Amino acid sequence: MKCLVAILVCVVLAEGIVKIPLRKHKSMRQALREKGIELPYQDPALKYQPYVLAGSANMYINNYADTTYYGAISIGTPPQSFEVLFDTGSSNLWVDSVYCTTQACSESMPFTSFYLPYGAGSLYGVFGYDTVNVGGIVITNQEIGLSTNEPGQNFVVAQFDGILGLAYPSLAAGGETPVMDNMISLNLLNADIFAFYLSSGEQQGSELSFGGVDTNMYQGQIYWTPVTAETYWQIGVQGFQINGQETGWCSQGCQSIVDTGTSMLTAPSQFMASIMQAIGAQESQNGAYMVDCSQINNLPTLSFVLSGVTFPLPPSAYIIQQNQNGYEYCSVGITPTYLPSQNGQPLWIFGDVFLRVYYSVFDRANNRVGFATAA
């Protein structure tokens, strides 16, 4: 154990890196669908808009309707466990305090409030402080957003208790210092990086590591590309190919946000019709794009060019196969966004559809993102 008594912080470090198992659960959308409730689709990029108001912070909960990978952290003394989404697309830590019994959930502790609108209701909360343990890395006096109401059925069926944001501190609502930034400033990591391995299909074994990469989780080398805006983990895209043919859509530059809090691959809306035409997908009544499951192997490979390296996505990566009531159906894991990037260039979002294929490394020391073929 390494203790920094002067600043009241203790940490238990594993050899080299700290590994946090991520469990794959049923998504909020799927759980509601099984109850006969169809959650409307929302532009995934809405979560990137500046929703911070005086004394409040707004986040859009149904942007997380399709997320499925969660891991455990603990809060308080004695520790209470919470299943959270580790989200590279936001910066705050918040948990549902309805069942919270730690000191942080006391109403005497908040300094500001936040408001989280989502599909069929709203979530309100306050900020507090308590000890947070992430895989044995212990931070005392971590600022935490604490929801103060039960926001209805959508959240009841969710498999997670909160969100731990891993984006840059410039995005942190309410002036909160993100967990990763406390780890960095207190020198709690061997290296100021974290990395994700997300399993495919029904397989478990997903993992988040802090302080280094897990060489068992990828093959070949890591290819690096620089962060273009130190807000989200935003990178430049120089090309987009369909079956190896360059489209030219990013010839003047595109941007992409690498976001573990978005399940799909999100494409600029102006490209969606062409992509779906190339795939041969048909739009369903609820806004999803569907394909014939028997034709998956005949669909095109979609590729991105990042810093001169091509990253292909085969159809097995972007087609989602599901069974419901004995019926197999196949949807396209690509959704549109109608919002451009901050510099006006077309915006993509590399969500879980991309991140299941490529092990992703987030390097705060050098402000870069690395990708390697997942093991």
Residues marked as catalytic:
87, 259
| Amino acid at position 331, single letter | S
Q: Is 294 left (phi over 0), alpha (psi -120 to 50) or beta?
A: alpha
| Amino acid at position 146, single letter | L
**Cα dihedral sign, 64-67-73-77:** positive
* Contact yes or no for 279/299 (Cβ under 8 A): yes
Q: Which residues of 213-245 are buried (b: 16+ CB within 10 A; e: fewer)?
A: bbeebbeeebbbbebbbebbbbbbbbbbbbeee
| Amino acid at position 227, single letter | V
* Contact yes or no for 39/28 (Cβ under 8 A): yes
Contacts of 151 (CB under 8 A, 6+ apart): 61, 116, 118, 121, 122, 123
* DSSP-derived secondary structure for 68-128: -EEEEEEETTTTEEEEEEEETT---EEEE-TT--SGGG-TTS-S-EEEEEETTEEEEEEEE
CA distance 54 to 91: 18
CA distance 335 to 268: 9
Peptide bond into 315 cis (omega under 30): no
CA atoms within 13 A on the CB side of 187: 4
Surface-to-core class of residue 183, CB atoms within 10 Å of its CB (0-12 exposed, 13-18 middle, 19+ buried): buried
